[in-house]
Structure 1
Amino acid sequence: MDRPITIAVLAIGGQGGGVLVDWVVALAERQDWRAQSTSVPGVAQRTGATIYYVEVIAAAPGRTPVFSAMAAPGDVDVVIAAEWMEAGRAIQRGLVTPDRTTLIASTHRAFAVSEKQVPGDGMADSGAVTAAARAAARRFVAFDMAALAEQAGSVVSSVLFGALCGTAVLPFGRPAFEAAISAAGVGVQASLRGFALGFDAVGGFDAVGQPAARLRPLPEPVPPPAAVLAPVGHAPYDSLLARAATLPAAAHEMLAEGLRHVVAYQDIAYGSAYLDAVEDVAQLDRAGLTETAAKYIARAMVYDDVIRVAALKTQPSRAGRVQREMGGQVIAVTEFMHPRMEELLGLLTPALGTAVQRRPRLVAALGRVFCGPRRIRTDTILGFLMLYVVAGLRGWRRRTLRHAQEWARINAWLGTVRGAAAEDPALAAELLANQRLIKGYSDTHSRGVDKFTQVMAAAQRLRGRPDATVWVRRLREAALKDEAGLALEQALQTVDSFLDERTAA
């Protein structure tokens, strides 16, 4: 070999990119090759990945290799992407070329901040990356390596290393790869399991890199699905399921999900209130409104308040998930919280909360004491107990100011829906779907309510027009495009322009 084998690795925090590179370097050096690795850190908060670059070359007597410090477009033999969009970014950077590059990528997604901050569906198009990878790479190996890593109790780097071995791009046998993992001495057994799964998923190669036939187990038989509204053995809940079963069959699956979420959020009585609201809409159902109502009424009733946020942060499954994601490391969990007076006053009774709201000086004084940035260590007894106590206020929720405010909005919303359903069922369905605009907690919730209010007000003005349904949908889609609401503002100006023209005429 007269030139190095060049490898670029793109990974984000927690995916073990640095460990993967260390394994590659150790692998080469144990085979008496020369190796060099460099890295360029990405930006925090998932707006960029760290790019690691490795060059390896067989040692030659009397020759000292000169390595490059950074991957150059068109000059990379192997690109390893620990997440699907990172594969796309590698292609955009020109690191993947059809004449030489083997692209190894995990197809799972770790969403970027730019995707998460969009109020609607901000997901980037994974299909575009697939098409680009097929066109740009000489060889393309991709599957869900994060799922295999979770199965192995490891991190995705071990599966990526196994896939690298399986492609036989490096002229070393499987035992050499496994020896590099073992020599590291940390998380060896889990890493070897992940390595084996990644290796097998590529297709399998024997110790000298030749194809090897492998028998794959037959898939497990899939059990038939249980009846959607079948009894679960809890008498009060089963009575709700039986009541839901009397509603239109098309809505049964959504009703089952809605009941599950609403009852888990509060209690059986809350589930009964949910069915009351759905039944009111079902009485006017002439175009499948019941299913839509079952979905969005449940979303409206399961709103994010202080109690729910505390419950989510202290639920037992969360600690287990964090441990799995961090590969079983010893970690400290810090919750970054920024409570506002609106959330704290929302825990009071409607009378007391409203009385305090009318005293701006008192609200400001209380805000200086109780509000502002907070860091709570939920891996400590005191920190966890603080949130656990707040989560335990679930039984108090229906007597709070926040609950009264939410139900006043829900009742007004459903009243508008019922009024529209009698004359235009399609418009009523769009009004129900406007609940999508309200989500989240604190400022995010406030912005959503503001957009919801604007769209519902415009819908009232549009009622009676043949294109009312179309315009309500357009307004909602505009509201979901950006957090600041600029697209919605422009859409509302358009609606105002033709409504004002009609009024003038």
Structure 2
Amino acid sequence: MDAQAQAQVATVRPITVAVVALGGEGGGVLADWIVDLAQHGGYLAQATSVPGVAQRTGATIYYVELFPKAAAQAGGRAPVLALMPVPGDVDIVLASELMEGARAIERGFVTPERTLLISSTHRVFAMTEKIALADGRVDAAPLLAACREAARELVAFDMAALAEATGSVLSAVLFGALAGSAALPFPRMAFEAAIRRGQVGVERSLAAFAAGFEAAQSGGVAVPAAASIDQHTRAAPRGLRDLLDAAARDFTGEARAIVLVAIERLAEYQDVSYARQFLARLARFQEIERQHGNGSGALLAETARQLALAMAYEDTIRVAELKIRSNRFARVREEVRIEDGQILEIAEFFHPRTQEIADTLPAALGRWLLRTRWARGLVDRATRKGRVIKTTSIAGFLLLFVLAKLKRLRRRSLRFSAEQAVLAHWLNVVAATARTDYSLAVQVARMRNLVKGYGDTREGGQAKFDQLMVLVPRLLGRSDSGATLEALIKAALADEHGEALDKAIAEMAFTNSDHATNSVHSRESGNPGATVRGSGSPLSRGRTEGMA
């Protein structure tokens, strides 16, 4: 070969592809498909993988380099291909989730001069996002904006939704999006042939591939909210369908989306009548929004959100019901990757307190248990160590099955009566406040989010909620009332023990002169600062062990 030919061969660079995926999302299969595609298309291919650990699950970087076989033959030697992606030198990044795309940017794999970024826009939340006292989720909008800014070109849409819709895996949608982007010098038929040669889940993978291909070529797809609602409505039982239809007509904007989801959730949690009670409680806030609102609809939406969450509180009955659902067994089988011939055993750790047991009983019996020293002592001793229940055994399953069937008696329980009293008081305070101070009322509605979780977490949140409820009358009449309560709520969520809240209250130096008496407040809610406590928390606070 002459010097000019060697120089031309030397300028040929490999196509570099990095796949960043979480465990179980088929990143390895995707890398294999790309290698197979290249090898059957006249390219040399090398793939490597480096497993890692993320806050959600194992995160692996799969790296593939493709080099034209003809160029290697012309050069008279095999190319030297890299084992790991080099920052600033990656042509294509395939991200199985939006945060993984952002992490690829952080590593320097995505650059505006070179890189095509193909990413799903759905989120798999990190542990830090899940355990936050408030809404700890990272806002997806800035992540998506960073992806657009960092990449030469971005192809992004919800690939998880397409994978679910086609009954396949996310890697097949990513492979389709890669084909649809036309970033690799291979036709669509070559991509599909690679899937067929894999001989695993071919038909579903091809369906997911086609969906990803079309989405990439059309610039991404989104499922319209209205279409989703109509689909759910058609599939619902007649009574629930009528309720959803009525709500769809009566509510608009953000409140409409929240209410429709809440109706389905509450009907499943208890029954359609319970969902109807939810709408009845919201009716006065629709009128308040019309008469005293600022046009944002924030009060109605936030009240609906917090009311739905509070009405669907987790008690022993709910925990038992969730533990024995068929889809839960299926999910555990999938997570532990059970194989044919293997036996799966699921052990649930339960540690109910006496309070939680009393909460499940009829109100009169529950109160008797709590105030009768000898009876409470017996239950305390019996529940001191907790208990492991195997839901895959007949005895364990039947125990939780019977407990779940107490759902029909939930309205008679001690916990239910206590929760209704708390909710009624909170709603009265929100309604009374809204008539004189709309922005403050929005924060009073939002404040209900402090009460969540179970055990010590719930009790701590309830204590903070009660503490702030006492301050609501003092905030009336202040020009910065809404902003002040918002700051106090943030302080309440800053730590578990309430130290930040105590400090914030002390710094604001509330005095008797700050107190504003409102006759409407007093008439509708009694004392808006009165404490009405909930009675308990769900029983399950342990672990689930899947053993194959």
TM-score w.r.t. the length of structure 2 is: 0.72
Deviation at 1:461, TM superposition (A): 4.7
1:265 aligns with 2:275: no
Paired letter, 2:381: A
From 426, 432, 450, the counterpart of 1:413 = 426
- Which ranges in structure 1 are unaligned for 5 or more consecutive residues? 205-215
CA contact (8 A) 2:17 2:65 kept: yes
2:311 equivalent in structure 1: 301
1:198 aligns with 2:208: no
From 141, 145, 153, the counterpart of 1:131 = 145
Deviation at 1:420, TM superposition (A): 4.4
Deviation at 1:15, TM superposition (A): 1.1
CA contact (8 A) 1:11 1:86 kept: yes
In 2, the alpha carbon distance for the partners of 1:154 and 1:143 equals 16
Relative to structure 1, the CA distance from residue 55 to residue 499 in structure 2 (aligned partners, 3 Å threshold; closer, same or farther) is same
Deviation at 1:46, TM superposition (A): 0.8
Give the match's secondary structure for 2:118. strand
1:297-327 CA distances to partner (integer Å, 9 max, x unpaired)?
A: 4432221112123333445666788899999
Deviation at 1:174, TM superposition (A): 3.0
1:392 aligns with 2:405: yes
In 1, the alpha carbon distance for the partners of 2:371 and 2:14 equals 74
1:434 equivalent in structure 2: 447
Give the match's secondary structure for 1:346. helix
Paired letter, 2:420: W
What is the correspondence of 1:38-53 to structure 2 with a 5 Å cutoff?
38-43=48-53, 46=56, 49-53=59-63
Deviation at 1:401, TM superposition (A): 3.2
1:173 aligns with 2:178: no
CA contact (8 A) 2:38 2:44 kept: yes
Deviation at 1:157, TM superposition (A): 0.4
Paired letter, 1:50: T
Give the paired residue count. Answer: 478
Deviation at 1:70, TM superposition (A): 1.7
From 365, 370, 373, the counterpart of 1:354 = 370
Deviation at 1:39, TM superposition (A): 2.0
Moved more, 25-34 or 251-260: 251-260
TM-score w.r.t. the length of structure 1 is: 0.77
CA contact (8 A) 1:165 1:199 kept: yes
1:57 equivalent in structure 2: 67
From 85, 94, 114, the counterpart of 2:99 = 85
1:339 aligns with 2:344: no
1:117-152 CA distances to partner (integer Å, 9 max, x unpaired)?
A: 223332223222333223322232222222222232
Paired letter, 2:123: R
Give the match's secondary structure for 2:484. helix
Paired letter, 2:20: L
Deviation at 1:456, TM superposition (A): 1.9
Moved more, 128-137 or 179-188: 128-137
Give the match's secondary structure for 1:6. strand
In 1, the alpha carbon distance for the partners of 2:459 and 2:110 equals 44
2:381 equivalent in structure 1: 365
From 86, 102, 117, the counterpart of 1:103 = 117
From 473, 479, 484, the counterpart of 1:471 = 484
Relative to structure 1, the CA distance from residue 10 to residue 469 in structure 2 (aligned partners, 3 Å threshold; closer, same or farther) is same
2:292 equivalent in structure 1: 287
CA contact (8 A) 1:154 1:327 kept: no
CA contact (8 A) 1:458 1:492 kept: no
Q: Percent identity?
A: 43
CA contact (8 A) 1:356 1:362 kept: no
CA contact (8 A) 1:475 1:492 kept: no
Relative to structure 1, the CA distance from residue 469 to residue 355 in structure 2 (aligned partners, 3 Å threshold; closer, same or farther) is same
What is the correspondence of 1:477-496 to structure 2 with a 5 Å cutoff?
477-480=490-493, 482=494, 484-485=495-496, 489-496=499-506
Paired letter, 1:198: G
In 2, the alpha carbon distance for the partners of 1:140 and 1:283 equals 45
In 1, the alpha carbon distance for the partners of 2:286 and 2:145 equals 45
1:137-181 CA distances to partner (integer Å, 9 max, x unpaired)?
A: 223222222222223221110111122223333333333322322
In 1, the alpha carbon distance for the partners of 2:241 and 2:194 equals 55
Paired letter, 1:403: F
Moved more, 461-470 or 10-19: 461-470
In 2, the alpha carbon distance for the partners of 1:453 and 1:241 equals 37
In 1, the alpha carbon distance for the partners of 2:254 and 2:139 equals 30
In 1, the alpha carbon distance for the partners of 2:304 and 2:157 equals 36
CA contact (8 A) 2:366 2:414 kept: yes
Deviation at 1:83, TM superposition (A): 0.8
In 2, the alpha carbon distance for the partners of 1:301 and 1:440 equals 14
Deviation at 1:454, TM superposition (A): 2.9
Deviation at 1:350, TM superposition (A): 2.0
Relative to structure 1, the CA distance from residue 343 to residue 58 in structure 2 (aligned partners, 3 Å threshold; closer, same or farther) is farther
Paired letter, 1:390: L
In 1, the alpha carbon distance for the partners of 2:251 and 2:109 equals 55
CA contact (8 A) 1:5 1:56 kept: yes
In 2, the alpha carbon distance for the partners of 1:143 and 1:256 equals 25
Paired letter, 1:470: A
Paired letter, 1:287: H
Relative to structure 1, the CA distance from residue 170 to residue 325 in structure 2 (aligned partners, 3 Å threshold; closer, same or farther) is farther
- Which ranges in structure 2 are unaligned for 5 or more consecutive residues? 1-8, 294-298, 515-548
In 1, the alpha carbon distance for the partners of 2:254 and 2:30 equals 49
Deviation at 1:249, TM superposition (A): 10
